[in-house]
Amino acid sequence: MENIQAVKGMNDILPDQIGWWQFVESTTRKLFERFGYREIRTPVLEKLELFARSIGESTDIVEKEMYTIADSRGEWLALRPEATASIVRAFIQHNLQADPLARKFYAIGPMFRHERPQKGRYRQFHQIDAEAFGVEDPMLDAEVMYMLGLLLRKLGLTAVVLHINSLGCTECRPVFRERLTAFLEQNVGRLCPDCQRRRHTNPLRTFDCKVDRCQAVLAEAPLLLDSICGHCAEHFSRVKGYLEDLRTPYVINPRMVRGLDYYTRTTFEIITDRLGAQNAVGGGGRYDGLVRDLGGPDVPGIGFAIGMERLILLLQQEQPAPVGVPPVFIAVLGERARHRGFLLSQEIRELGLEVELDYERRSLKSQMRRADKLGSRYVLILGDDEIERNQAQLRDMQEKTQSVLPLSDAPAQLKQLMISAA
Ligand code: AMP
């Protein structure tokens, strides 16, 4: 019988990789909390309608990438393809607007999109997500991008560029949409079948088309950034000013449209040239009408998501793997020593050190080999003779020296040694 494999595009994260994930997660938590963001965890399964209404019916995500499930009562559910919609739903459902401490949120977890898998693109992937509600001032837009940039710097990532754009508002975007549709109409013969369809359903998305001949058409297309209204232009110019004050470099990219309908005004992406076709590490923007459109109060919002797989692929190109502290090893010879070693291992763990020991009565030689493989700096060697004398041998694997120490003192002494070796 054939072995069962994981679902295509869904990856195991094995222990030899987990150091990267833990490093990214702990750095994120520490940093975001400094900016007042608090963690929120929402279900991975939501009502399908939530995503259709927020992300947009005619987006790639909703049209073709969602994993949907009909539950036993015939209600349509979907595995979340992104986090913003769920966080907005929770914000409304729990009336978090009434809680002054609940305005900024972050979440870390898996998302699901049925895309064609390739390097940096998977069907289950993970995002770090941040969302802030209730502030219209462009100072927050700049702070959000600054926080994202600071996180990448703290992680040690350098090969990335911040792209920014404004997608206008409900006043100016529809006007532009008509202009763009008219332009696409004039050039319809030169467009791919997808873009021919998009010119009615979602004309802005044509800017994202990868087909060369569409790109050639769109190089001549009018740009939204040139037609945003006075309020949006003022907002955008203040965002740029604050970014400059914060010494956050950016590139204006008037062709960046993002794949979700709910964005308004400021949008941004973190772009790299080191991941082949999957060049976006993260992206986000303002969504001032979304909370209201989903039935909540009329509060503005802004947020972003970073793709953790892509982030870690980049980190792996730039720096060595984060290393943990190797464990202390307890090697035992004889039954009494084995029992005493077992108890000692728990005493040492209670003091906060990681300990490995032999459970299987292996030879002393093979225990020492294992300690060496684990990279243990210190090995406590216990034989029945040592137990008789209430002593243990302490071997320093690096210095290749051995000394004797009283058993009762062993945990405290080891802790001291590990602290000074760190
Ligand atoms: P989006 O919500 O589409 O703007 O995605 C935000 C970030 O999530 C992207 O910049 C990617 O880093 C990451 N991402 C999106 N889709 C995938 C995917 N299928 N596989 C891996 N990462 C993804």
The CATH number linked to 369 is: 3.40.50.800
* DSSP string over 69-109: EE-TTS-EEEE-S-SHHHHHHHHHHTTGGG-TT-SEEEEEE
Give the span between the Cα atoms of 20 and 152, in whole angstroms: 14
- DSSP-derived 3-state class of residue 68: strand
Is 259 a pocket residue for ligand 1 (Cβ < 6 Å)?
Answer: yes
* Same domain for 333 and 302: no
Res 262: pLDDT: 87
The verdict on residue 212 lying in a domain is no
Closest CA to 407 of 335, 322, 348: 348
Most distant pair of Cα atoms in the chain: their distance: 95
Last residue of a domain, one of 318, 350, 374: 318
Which ligand 1 atom is the nearest neighbour of the CA of 269? 10
Last residue of a domain, one of 318, 337, 369: 318
Candidate of 55, 80, 108, 121 to mutate for ligand 1, largest count of ligand atoms within 8 Å of Cβ? 121
Cα(279) to ligand 1 centroid in Å equals 10
* Inter-residue contact 273 to 286 (CB < 8 Å): no
pTM of the model: 0.91
The verdict on residue 62 lying in a domain is yes
* Same domain for 167 and 129: yes
* Same domain for 102 and 59: yes
- Give nearest CA residue, ligand 1 atom 10: 282
Which ligand 1 atom is the nearest neighbour of the CA of 113? 19
Cα(311) to ligand 1 centroid in Å equals 10
Domain count for the chain, please give it.
Answer: 2
* Same domain for 160 and 69: yes
Structure tokens at 366: 């093979």
CA 114 from chain centre, in angstroms, equals: 18
The verdict on residue 393 lying in a domain is yes
Which residues neighbour 385 within 8 Å (Cβ) at sequence distance 6 or greater?
none
Give me the domain span that covers residue 54: 15-172+228-318
The verdict on residue 73 lying in a domain is yes
Cα(82) to ligand 1 centroid in Å equals 8
Q: How many of the other CB atoms lie within 10 Å of CB of 351?
A: 12
The verdict on residue 198 lying in a domain is no
The verdict on residue 20 lying in a domain is yes
Which ligand 1 atom is the nearest neighbour of the CA of 115? 19
Closest CA to 197 of 184, 208, 186, 210: 184
Last residue of a domain, one of 318, 337, 370: 318
Which residues lie across from 111 on neighbouring strands?
A: 125
Res 158: pLDDT: 87
* Same domain for 298 and 351: no
Is 411 a pocket residue for ligand 1 (Cβ < 6 Å)?
Answer: no
Angle, helix 308-318 to helix 15-34, in steps of 10 degrees: 110
Q: Which amino acid is at 86?
A: S
Placement of tokens 């990335």 in the chain: 160
Q: Is the Cα dihedral 292, 296, 299, 302 positive or negative?
A: negative
* Same domain for 333 and 272: no
285 torsion bin: left (phi>0), alpha (psi -120 to 50), beta (else): left
How far CA 272 is from CA of 122, 127, 153, 157, in Å, comes to: 18, 17, 14, 10
* Inter-residue contact 68 to 76 (CB < 8 Å): yes
Candidate of 84, 88, 113 to mutate for ligand 1, largest count of ligand atoms within 8 Å of Cβ? 113
* Same domain for 72 and 26: yes
The verdict on residue 207 lying in a domain is no
> How, if at all, do strands 328-333 and 355-357 pair?
parallel
Q: CA geometry: angle at 21 spanning 20 and 23, to 5°? A: 65
Closest CA to 17 of 349, 218, 353, 308: 308
* Same domain for 240 and 144: yes
Give the span between the Cα atoms of 307 and 312, in whole angstroms: 9
Placement of tokens 């976006």 in the chain: 280
Structure tokens at 173: 């975007």
CATH number at residue 119: 3.30.930.10
- Give nearest CA residue, ligand 1 atom 18: 121
Res 321: pLDDT: 83
* Same domain for 392 and 270: no
* Same domain for 158 and 59: yes
* Inter-residue contact 115 to 65 (CB < 8 Å): yes
Give the span between the Cα atoms of 365 and 137, in whole angstroms: 67
Provide the edge-to-edge strand list for the sheet that holds 76-79.
Answer: 45-47, 76-79, 68-70
Full pLDDT tens readout for the chain, 422 residues = 889 999 999 999 999 999 999 999 999 999 999 999 999 999 999 999 999 999 998 888 998 999 999 998 999 999 999 999 999 999 999 999 998 877 999 999 999 999 999 999 999 999 999 999 999 999 999 999 999 999 999 999 988 999 999 999 999 999 999 999 999 999 999 999 999 998 988 899 899 888 999 999 999 999 999 999 999 999 999 999 999 999 999 999 999 988 778 899 999 999 999 988 889 999 999 999 999 999 999 999 999 999 999 999 999 998 888 878 889 999 999 999 999 999 999 999 999 999 999 888 999 999 999 999 999 999 999 999 999 999 999 999 999 999 999 999 999 999 999 888 77
Res 210: pLDDT: 86
